[in-house]
Structure 1
Amino acid sequence: MASSTKYSVILEEDENIWTSNVVRRASRKELIVSKTETGFKTEEEAQAWGDEALKEFVEQQGTRNKRHNEKR
């Protein structure tokens, strides 16, 4: 599981099919799934997708936050 303070990747296995979730920590106890993909045959494929999706998601959030700050 790759992790940061606010966003992370969680992998789940269900009958040899892997699912990768990009999650956001909303509070100390609550996690919100921001992006998900399923159907991976190996854990490595799921982790690679999750890491790439997490990187894109954080970049997208950064640009969104900059645009939002300019409007204030």
Structure 2
Amino acid sequence: MSENKKFTIRLTEKRNGWSAEIMRQVTSRRTVVSKREMGFESQELAQAWADKELAGFIENQAKRNERKAETRAAKAEAAAKAEAAADSEE
């Protein structure tokens, strides 16, 4: 199981087999199904699929966080240059 608090896995048994869902914690009270796959023959197959997909979700989140951090740094640098230019004009 993952150490990630934002995403969890839920396995349920349905009439036509096992179902695996990747749940995302939106707020402290609300969760959303991010991805669902149904029709697995066994719980182990459903767990394996969910673990693989969850790893992909976490990797994508890490990449997204890096891109956002670069954008924030660039904006902060531009704001600092603008402020320095405004101060030098006075």
Range into which the TM-score falls when normalised by the shorter chain: 0.7 to 0.9
Whether 1:20 aligns to 2:20 is yes
Aligned to 1:61: 61
Please list every run of 5 or more consecutive structure 1 residues that lacks an aligned counterpart in the other structure: none
Higher helix share: 2
Offset, 1:61 = 0.8
SS at match of 1:10: strand
Task: Give the TM-score normalised by the residue count of structure 1.
Answer: 0.87
The aligned runs of 1:1-72 (5 Å cut-off) are 2-3=1-2, 4-72=4-72
User: Number of aligned pairs?
Assistant: 71
**1:14-71 CA-partner distances (Å, limit 9, x unpaired):** 1141111111111222111111111101011000100111111101111011112111
Partners of 1:14 and 1:70 in 2: how far apart?
44
Structure 2 residue identity aligned to 1:11: L
For the pair shown, the structure with the greater C-alpha radius of gyration is 2
Task: Give the TM-score normalised by the residue count of structure 2.
Answer: 0.71
Aligned to 2:82: none
